[in-house]
Structure 1
Amino acid sequence: MSLEQAFDVVVVGGGPAGATAAHDLARQGRHVALLDKAGRIKPCGGAIPPRLIRDFDIPADLLVARVNAARMISPSDREVDMPIDGGYVGMVERASFDEFLRARAAEAGAERLTGEFQRIEHDADGMAVIVYTAKGDTAEQRLRTRCIIGADGARSQVAKQSVKGAEKIPCVFAYHEIVEAPTDQAPKYDPLRCDVFYQGKLSPDFYAWIFPHGDKVSIGTGSAHKGFSLRGSVGELRASTGLDKVRTIRREGAPIPLKPLKRWDNGRDVVLAGDSAGVVAPSSGEGIYYAMLCGRLAADAAAEFCATGRASALATARKRFMKAHGRVFLILGIMQYFWYSSDKRREKFVAICQDKDVQRLTWEAYMNKELARPNPLTHIKIFLKDMAHLLGLAGPRLDRPASTSRGDA
């Protein structure tokens, strides 16, 4: 690729954020390149809410399962089912889902390039130059561009080289094993239900999961604690559920950011998106919807920058994202910090989840990606129940009067 070929925008990273950004820019008529490393599949539970399916026109054939319930499992193995009334959560395989998004971007006009990002330079005219190498080739290639969208993951090299403080982003490390779906080896497995394990032995600061993927299953966990054996945790979970008897297809691990960066742009020609910007929801670890929305907002910011030349336009991506979802991230961060800190609190958290009002508001917020606004009395009711658990006035059941129930936690 010669230096004479210039792009309006080069997107580094072809996951959901980068592919969405490239697609949106190409549809707007921008000359855009999508640079991605080939052959990598991110470890991910693969859950996508209806809001994502609607907003980003995801075809039904990409859904490998439609989950209609979640089961929360406490440290004492108490099981609380949370059914979804009148809806479902879609499950996708990241390999095929991500490739669909990249191919759709190319169909819209983005130029797909395979290679590994090395660094950003600037030519004599001040225009950015992306330096990358193709797989198996040490020769450096260059792309001139007016703007760069860094969507190359939690350990983003684009971010580290261009945005102050990006190298300090805190991460949790996630690991999962994709296995064949069981037939009769795991009697409690349900292909229409996600199982979430809030148990310190499986994760001291996060949770473990069993998510159905059609003819496959994702079994995983995550933790920020150094020295905690993620592979050992998954092995223990598989053994306790009978899923150690089914064939393992592949194993994957990767860092997951814990909170959004305070800045997503360099004030000149770079804006971040997806994991590079830290947009993974605390507590739940959900990232696909937020990554794709972030990619869309980054694309809009980049297009405005290209149209006006004002570098301040790049900052609008973070401003718009945080205005829409900053409060949710704050609340989920507090929840994770408090409820995941000990098995005693995890036990109470799972107990709270059996309340029907809590379930309804949780699913409404997750499915629609908006904080629910029901009758204020419902919030007061939930608040009083939460306080009863925090103060030890409520035991494992939430349908007993607080005045007569003494906690066992």
Structure 2
Amino acid sequence: MRQMYDCVVVGGGPAGATAATELATKGLDVLLLDKRGRIKPCGGAIPPKAIEEFDIPDSQLVAKAHAARAISPSKREVNMPINGFVGMVDREHFDEWLRCRAVEAGAERIDGKFETFDRDADGTALIRFRPKSVGRDGPLETVRARMVIGADGARSALAKQTVKDADKVPSVFAYHEIIRSPKEPTENFVPDRCDIIYEGKLSPDFYSWVFPHGDLTSVGTGTAHKGFSFRNSVAELRQRMGLDQLETVRTEGAPLPLRPMKKWDNDRDVVLAGDAAGVVAPASGEGIYYALLTGRLAADAVEQALETGKAKALASARKRFMKDHGKVFFVLGILQHFWYQNDKRRERFVAICDDPDVQYLTWEAYMHKRLVRAKPAAHARIFFKDMAHLLGVARA
């Protein structure tokens, strides 16, 4: 292990591993610091754009979803076919594959827990961490870094120590259970369909899900309500879906940020990416594609800052992201604010999902990560339908 790195990446999820890969590929000295064993609760969906842009091989896809089903509080079902497919990954194996790819690109990897950010006498960043090999009470080790990328998840410890207001990012909490998939399709389980359940009893302000992962399936829920019983919610969902007798392989829970932070860097030598930067899509909770993307943007920003010696280059990561995706996040934020408030609105929201225009524009936006402008008439129809449902003058 070197004592000085061009960049230390804290966190080895999709954002951190991608950042490390990008920088190592360009010949920089990179250390990837990751706490082994942590698996983020995640539905595991990645769109074709992510597969194409980040060279995700088919071997990493544990399933391919060809349809989605939305279920309302009254148990109304809306089936939505997918033009193409959405890839499904198991984060336990997918994240490790990304970390191994970073090492193959030339990054060094240390299994350890980040503890503190400090500076030496000449102002160089010091990353202090506890290697896994020494145990909880073992001594800390220290490395120096010209630049640092924080990708250690929501409520990032590094971000709280280095970036203003990083401790004020609102979040929901997500919990899921990874279970053995049924051996055969059932009335309520189809191995290439994702089920999304909108019901206040199961999730007061978000949604619940059943996402097949081949031999395994993710059953989960999310909410910002304190005191909500996640285990009871998932237990009821499993019982409803006929999944309650299947083996539980593992359980996971973690916070998910609700909106991108207003600032991702410290104006000097730290830039954030992924959940640490607050980049999880509102309404859908999608984070894998945005983590991969912001990891790449953070790496680009670090490379530019190192080449020019200008710390202001670090701000380019957020600027580029918001330029391309800010409108999508804004629209999704409005959608979540209006339609997830109560079961009456959730019922109407699922009714809207039955509209062909809504399905077309939704899948186009999700699959290609852009708002569709080619059909202004469709946007107009959806707007008036939304208003009719919101005002209660349309049938649910």
- Cα distance in 1 for residues equivalent to 2:73 and 2:271: 42
Please show how residues 8-19 of structure 1 align to structure 2 within 5 Å. 8-19=6-17
Residue in structure 2 matched with residue 164 of structure 1 by the alignment: 164
Q: Retained in 1: the 8 A contact 2:185–2:191?
A: no
Please show how residues 6-405 of structure 1 align to structure 2 within 5 Å. 6-85=4-83, 87-135=84-132, 136-137=134-135, 138-183=138-183, 186-396=186-396
- Cα distance in 1 for residues equivalent to 2:129 and 2:388: 57
For the residue of structure 2 that corresponds to 1:149, the secondary structure is strand
Residue in structure 2 matched with residue 399 of structure 1 by the alignment: none
Residue in structure 2 matched with residue 402 of structure 1 by the alignment: none
For the residue of structure 2 that corresponds to 1:164, the secondary structure is coil
Q: Retained in 2: the 8 A contact 1:185–1:246?
A: no
- CA-to-partner distance for each residue in 1:347-368, whole Å, 9 max, x for gaps? 0000000000110110000000
Q: Retained in 1: the 8 A contact 2:70–2:198?
A: yes
Q: Which amino acid aligns with 1:48?
A: I
- Cα distance in 1 for residues equivalent to 2:252 and 2:292: 22
CA shift for structure 1 position 241: 1.1
- Cα distance in 2 for residues equivalent to 1:104 and 1:257: 27
Residue in structure 2 matched with residue 404 of structure 1 by the alignment: none
Normalised by the length of structure 1, the TM-score is: 0.95
Q: Retained in 2: the 8 A contact 1:149–1:298?
A: yes
- Cα distance in 1 for residues equivalent to 2:266 and 2:25: 25
CA shift for structure 1 position 374: 2.1
Structure 2 portions without partners, runs of 5+: none
- Cα distance in 1 for residues equivalent to 2:244 and 2:184: 12
- Cα distance in 2 for residues equivalent to 1:331 and 1:127: 41
For the residue of structure 2 that corresponds to 1:68, the secondary structure is strand
State the superposition RMSD in angstroms.
1.0
Q: Retained in 2: the 8 A contact 1:186–1:243?
A: no
For the residue of structure 2 that corresponds to 1:76, the secondary structure is coil
Q: Retained in 2: the 8 A contact 1:283–1:336?
A: yes
Normalised by the length of structure 2, the TM-score is: 0.98
- CA-to-partner distance for each residue in 1:169-206, whole Å, 9 max, x for gaps? 11100000000001359532000100000000000000
- Cα distance in 2 for residues equivalent to 1:43 and 1:379: 34
- CA-to-partner distance for each residue in 1:5-38, whole Å, 9 max, x for gaps? 2100000000000000000000111111000001
- Cα distance in 2 for residues equivalent to 1:186 and 1:116: 43
- Cα distance in 1 for residues equivalent to 2:326 and 2:27: 31
How many residue pairs align between the two structures?
393
- Cα distance in 2 for residues equivalent to 1:126 and 1:333: 40
Q: Retained in 2: the 8 A contact 1:67–1:90?
A: yes
- Cα distance in 2 for residues equivalent to 1:381 and 1:129: 56
For the residue of structure 2 that corresponds to 1:44, the secondary structure is coil
Question: Percent identity over the alignment?
Answer: 64
Structure 1 portions without partners, runs of 5+: 397-409
Q: Retained in 2: the 8 A contact 1:185–1:245?
A: no
- Cα distance in 2 for residues equivalent to 1:256 and 1:167: 13
- Cα distance in 1 for residues equivalent to 2:118 and 2:359: 51
For the residue of structure 2 that corresponds to 1:115, the secondary structure is strand
Q: Retained in 1: the 8 A contact 2:10–2:149?
A: yes
For the residue of structure 2 that corresponds to 1:259, the secondary structure is coil
- Cα distance in 2 for residues equivalent to 1:308 and 1:184: 58
Q: Retained in 1: the 8 A contact 2:208–2:221?
A: yes
Q: Retained in 2: the 8 A contact 1:186–1:241?
A: no
Q: Retained in 2: the 8 A contact 1:185–1:242?
A: no
- Cα distance in 2 for residues equivalent to 1:256 and 1:102: 21
Q: Which amino acid aligns with 1:261?
A: M
Misfit runs of 4+, over 2 Å: 183-187
For the residue of structure 2 that corresponds to 1:116, the secondary structure is strand
- Cα distance in 2 for residues equivalent to 1:327 and 1:289: 16
Q: Which amino acid aligns with 2:341?
A: S
- Cα distance in 1 for residues equivalent to 2:125 and 2:81: 51
